[in-house]
Amino acid sequence: MYKLLKTEGRAKLGEFHTVHGVIKTPVFMNVGTIAAIKGAVSTEDLQGIKTQVELSNTYHLHLRPGDKVVKKLGGLHKFMVWDKPILTDSGGFQVFSLTGLRKIKEEGVYFNSHIDGKKIFMGPEESMQIQSNLASTIAMAFDECPPYPATREYMQNSVDRTTRWLKRCIAEMSRLNSLEDTINKSQMLFGINQGGTYSDIRIEHAKVISDLNLDGYAVGGLAVGETHQEMYRILEDVVPYLPQNKPTYLMGVGTPENILESVDRGVDFFDCVLPARNGRHAHVYTNKGKLNLNNVKYELDERPIAEDCNCPACKTYSRAYIRHLFKAKEMLAMRLCVLHNLYFYNNMMEEIRDALEKGEFKAYKKMRLEGFKENSK
């Protein structure tokens, strides 16, 4: 159940009550695709860096170790030792990124595993069954993530199919949640709005899926090649047609700037691989913008990554030391920078919530956006 606590313009402050605890929103979900955060970061680490929600991937876990294996081991929470909410994405995005390896039909998608080439079929029912086996807190509906750019005709047909698939997801989840041996009988379902950069298609789709009274709604199919300005335009157009009293999730986005701009446009759930991926390549976020710790100018720099940061890396180590670890190809380098970046994102979300609570989000956003430009001057 979602509780809208406060608004400032379109921005929302809320609480989402789940069987695995309350999520304070806006929230950034930390991406652990195959039930682990890349960069040698454990779920125990996540407890110490303000993580509220962990996100895992249906497609990858279905292939390895297998969702039936996870179910036999008591579900994803028990398997990875995590007691807070988990969102599983439906596998749609991964399946659709296998261009050349897949065939889309009305019943679902036929594709070849990227691991061993084995033929696999996934449709709405299969995606729901896999996510039910994983026993995540929130499951995502199986949708088609259309290519960018796509013709209007292709987009309309794709969106219509996504709607038909969503109805099948709802029916299948309802069935699965009623079964005796289902681990999480309170699993929630989010629907996904598609339509590329065609505002009218997206708005019509938003109206249709809003009537289905789901637990939450996502805006999918963005951050796939369109400009940031196009993405913001789509959010301005479509978010008003999604229920304000339900979570609004922008999938796969984004940079700290993207998050601030999207919160301002009514989004309150986010996920992105950027903080972990960038951290593994020595790119770290600070309130003054991004740093590349491989740069020679940090060779003798005894300051932490950010002096105003309380993450495990900044409390203990210097830029010079972390740079040395990267140069020596030590795994600890990646670990420290991933921890820092995830903490930075999680902490920024906490600051956003505090600013919304005080009615000062606009001022906070302006201050942060100006600050992020400092290092590029």
Residues designated catalytic: 89, 271
Tokens of 105: 């039909």
Tell me the C-alpha distance between 356 and 212, whole Å: 29
**The residue to which tokens 């400009």 are assigned:** 227
CA dihedral 137, 140, 141, 147 (to 10 degrees): -170
Cross-strand bridge partners of residue 23: 16
Tell me the C-alpha distance between 357 and 352, whole Å: 9
78 SS3 class = helix
Nearest to residue 316, comparing CAs of 304, 324, 333, 308? 304
Tell me the C-alpha distance between 305 and 168, whole Å: 48
Cross-strand bridge partners of residue 109: 104, 122
